[in-house]
Amino acid sequence: METGTVKWFNNAKGWGFISRFDGTDVFVHYSKIEGDGYRTLRQGDSVQFQCKDGPRGRFAEFVRVCERLSA
C-alpha cells in the first residue's frame, strides 16, 4: 500500500486525483474508495491505496482515508 494526498476530487462526477510522494498523480474513481454508504474524498485528505496500470494509465484502488481534513 502507498500513502498519498488527495489533489482534488469532484463529488458530482465521482473522480479525482491523488498525489503520490514521488510527485506523480494517480486517477481515483469513487467505486475504488473502501467503505459503506456515500464514498467521497476531500482535497488534502491523507489516503492509503494500491496503484494499478490500466488502459488509460495508472489508477488507485483499495483507497482508504487515513486522515480527513475538517470541512
The C-alpha atoms of residue 42 and residue 11 are separated, in whole angstroms, by 9
Higher per-residue pLDDT: 54 or 71: 54
The residues near 48 (Cβ < 8 Å, ≥ 6 apart) are 1, 2, 3, 62, 63, 64, 66
**pLDDT average, residue stretch 23-46:** 93
Instruction: Name all domains of the chain by residue range, CATH numbers in brackets.
Output: 2-67 (2.40.50.140)
Residue 21 CA to residue 10 CA, distance in Å, equals 21
Task: Strands of the chain (E only): list them.
Answer: 2-10, 15-20, 25-29, 46-54, 57-67
Tell me the pLDDT band of 69, cut-offs 50, 70 and 90: confident
The per-residue pLDDT for 40 is 92
